[in-house]
Structure 1
């Protein structure tokens, strides 16, 4: 796996807030990436065709409206179903240290060769998230990662390149 630093900032127009937030809505719903983000991903793919993940850092607190305190979404993964997928992760300033690991977990689950996107111990109404508070794949990312989750992540061709 090759990691490249290619910086491009997008402002969400919000001021910094350290109250924390959630990885994405619960239950997680497939969401189309905004066109501006798709354009950034496609531009990066043009120069780095081997890219499988593009991470966009958003200035501001939350994805969506920074004026809506109920929307504490600080990170999101957008699934790419194309022939040569390049998954898109967005992270905001309010994201905590474990959020990127959580979003990468979604990418590794989404890209598994067995096409099973479920977490190893999923919430019954939200199979992309783990049901145990404190787990890295819980809707509010924690610090625990299980052996079963690692085994599932290693079924991703992104890791096994």
Structure 2
């Protein structure tokens, strides 16, 4: 599937290769010892897939799927820069917040998953700044805070 074929309504199950991979990883993750003190190979937390193309049908340059369990999925068109990946990983860190709050730490009232401040990594047009409150919230991710 090419980036130009993927939009806001595309379900993960429609991208067969990613959906199949995610299901295999879910099975493998169940077999892992989730204690970071005894397991040097933690379960897979995020699948990052680069897709052929410049941008998605919607015009976006990244999608982070909130799958409600590991592994989460990030799709990036091959032409996107590293900032797009960082922005989408930020969404995954928010989706996995231990308090259940999936919004940005300083939410835009019209797009709460995005930051209100232009130039911020999580602004709807991602920048390169991260605030202290965002760092604190990112550190509350269940991906980072393993039992």
TM-score between both structures, scaled by the size of structure 1:
0.71
1:71-82 alignment runs, 5 A limit? 71-81=58-68
- Does 2:140 correspond to 1:155? yes
Residue range with higher mean Cα deviation, 35-44 or 93-102 = 35-44
Q: Name the residue aligned to 2:12.
A: 33
Q: Using a 3 Å threshold, how does the CA distance of structure 1 residues 79 and 59 change in structure 2: closer, same or farther?
A: same
Distance (whole Å) between structure 2 residues aligned to residue 97 and residue 122 of structure 1 = 23
Give the deviation of 1:34 after TM superposition: 3.8
Structure 1 segments of 4 or more deviating over 3 A?
A: 29-32, 44-49
Deviation at 1:99, TM superposition (A): 1.0
Greater length-normalized contact order (CA 8 Å, ≥ 6 residues apart): 1
> Structure 2 regions of 5+ residues with no counterpart?
31-42
CA distance in 2, matches of 1:113, 1:143: 25
RMSD: 2.3
Residues paired across the two proteins, number: 130
Match of 2:98 in 1: 113
1:58-137 counterparts in 2 under 5 A? 58-64=51-57, 71-81=58-68, 84-137=69-122
Q: TM-score, normalised by structure 2?
A: 0.77
The residue number in structure 1 matching 2:40 is none
Structure 1 residue 40: Cα displacement? 2.5
Does 1:43 find its partner at 2:28? Answer: no
| Conserved 8 A contact 1:76-1:90 | yes
Q: Per the alignment, in what secondary structure is the counterpart of residue 20 of structure 2?
A: helix
Whole-angstrom distance in 2 between the partners of 1:145 and 1:158: 19
